[in-house]
Amino acid sequence: MPATTRSRARQTHMEDFQPGREDGEALPLATAASGERKRKKMKSSLVEYSDDESPRRVRKSSHASLRRDEAEVEPNSQNASTITINRAPVLELWRAVVTRLLYPQAKWETRLSAGAAISTICAISKGRAVGAIGQPDPETAEKRKEGRRKHPEIQDLDEIGVVGFDLRVRDGAALVSGKSKDANENALRKKFGDAEYDRAIKVFTDALRSWQSDREDLDAQAFGMYETFRPATKPGARGWGRKGELDLDKAKTTIRRPD
């Protein structure tokens, strides 16, 4: 597994990320810069993830958009190698499977929590970039920062780094804005469909076996892989909340490490 160190790195916050390219997809600054980051060694097999972006920060009017972006898969895909689905659940599952390879000692619920945390951060960041979600109030954001400074114990939590995102973990769940992002595999499976969910996991897992001997390099390239095989949608606001085709054959080719 990747080397881990006791790190003084900050917990993941929305200000640590920048809008991506034309489609507004959020990019981790660590990936955009050097791809390097420190990881804090986990104290137990449980890893907690929390989204640094609290759901309360999102305006009520935006919740419908977020739910629409996570709508269930449409049962109209005739090709067994394709799945009609939104990007958010694909990103969530992909990052959970990558976390399984990078942190084999972590429980599956913890890996799903990490995927859910990162997917939420990216969804909110993109929503702001395309104007579907309002920008946070500066005064409120400053109060949140001040609150974090008053709780230095958060800095002593274990940390896990996945595809450019550093997440504090507590009691087996990832933290976002100091709050746990619990895993919900039943909801994620429903978005794919039972057979499609299992098929996607198998394709991701089988292709990732080629990276067993070079996990650090995988960690640096995993986000770019997702950008290559993710469902295609229209750029900007026109593609917000829309479904596209996840081509599993393309995913397999993209993920598999060149010989």
pLDDT score for 31: 43
pLDDT of res. 210: 94
Is residue 51 within 8 A of residue 121, CB to CB? The reply is: yes
Six-digit token pair at 46?
């449980």
Q: Give φ, ψ of 250 to 5 degrees.
A: -65, -40
Residue 174, strand partner residues = 49, 169
- What's the CA gap between 214 and 91, in Å, rounded? 22
**How far is it, in rounded angstroms, from Cα 229 to Cα 212?**
21
Domain boundaries, the chain: 14-255
Q: Which residue has the tokens 């390099």?
A: 217
Residue type at 66 in one-letter notation: L
Beta bridge partners of 159: 168
Angle, alpha carbons 238-228-88 (nearest 5°): 55
The predicted pLDDT at position 249 comes to 97
DSSP assignment of 185-218 equals: HHHHHHHH-HHHHHHHHHHHHHHHGGGTT-HHHH
Report d(CA 226, CA 54) in Å as an integer.
24
pTM tops 0.85, yes or no = no
Distance, in Å, from the CA atom of 28 to the CA atom of 30, rounded to the nearest integer, reads: 5
Q: Rounded distance, CA 246 to CA 231, Å?
A: 5
Structure tokens given for 111 = 């890996």
Q: Which residues pair with 166 in a beta bridge?
A: 161
DSSP string, 219-239: HHHHHHHHHHHSPP--SGGGG
Digitized pLDDT (tens) for each residue of the chain, 259 residues in all: 443 333 333 444 444 444 444 444 554 444 444 344 434 434 333 333 333 333 333 333 333 333 333 344 444 445 678 999 999 899 889 988 998 888 887 888 888 888 787 777 776 565 555 454 455 556 655 555 555 554 544 454 455 555 556 667 767 777 666 666 777 899 999 999 999 999 999 999 999 999 998 888 888 899 899 999 999 887 766 656 679 999 999 999 999 998 7
What H or E segment, with its residue span, contains residue 244? strand 244-247
